[in-house]
Amino acid sequence: GLELSHCVGTNSLGPTVPWRSGGPCKMKRVRTVFKPEQLERLEQEFLKQQYMVGTERVDLAATLHLTETQVKVWFQNRRIKWRKQSMEQKAAKLSQFGVIQPASADSTDSKDHEEDPVDVEL
């Protein structure tokens, strides 16, 4: 669901001040808090396959009482976390052998930029 963003109310010192400058109060998405059972099931599915699409995503969302968008965004964010962990493990192994990875390697890898973190859960 959506919730109004925090706006400072009218007081004796002046008019209402918007939560963010540049306009009236905007709708702010509420961060989804997953139940432990939902997270466990999502992690199990992620171990099987890193991409959940189509009817599989619809079915999983219905089973977990989540929206399809929540499941989609969870998988997007989980893939990003997985890639970061993989890169950290790779860097740790290379540093064990005295191999230093160039700093620009992270910025040139196109796979790292396929998906940006998304925090638009409903």
Q: Is-contact 42 36, C-beta < 8 A?
A: no
Residues composing the chain: 122
pLDDT(113) > 50:
no
Q: What is the pLDDT of residues 6-55, one digit of tens each?
A: 554 444 444 544 545 556 677 887 888 999 999 999 999 999 999 999 99
Of 52-56, 112-116, 117-121, the least confident: 112-116
CATH architecture assignment, domain 44-95? Orthogonal Bundle (1.10)
Predicted confidence band of residue 4 (pLDDT cuts 50, 70, 90) = very low
What average pLDDT does the segment 1-7 reach? 48
Q: What is the pLDDT of residues 52-81, one digit of tens each?
A: 999 999 999 999 999 999 999 999 999 999
The total of other beta-carbon atoms located within 10 Å of residue 33's CB is: 7
The CA angle 86-34-38, to the nearest 5 degrees, is 80
Structure tokens at 71: 């499941």
Q: Which residues contact 45 (CB under 8 A, 6 or more apart)?
A: 52, 60
Of 117, 110, 40, 121, which is closest to residue 76 (Cα–Cα)? Answer: 117
User: pTM above the 0.85 mark?
Assistant: no
Q: Is-contact 64 38, C-beta < 8 A?
A: yes
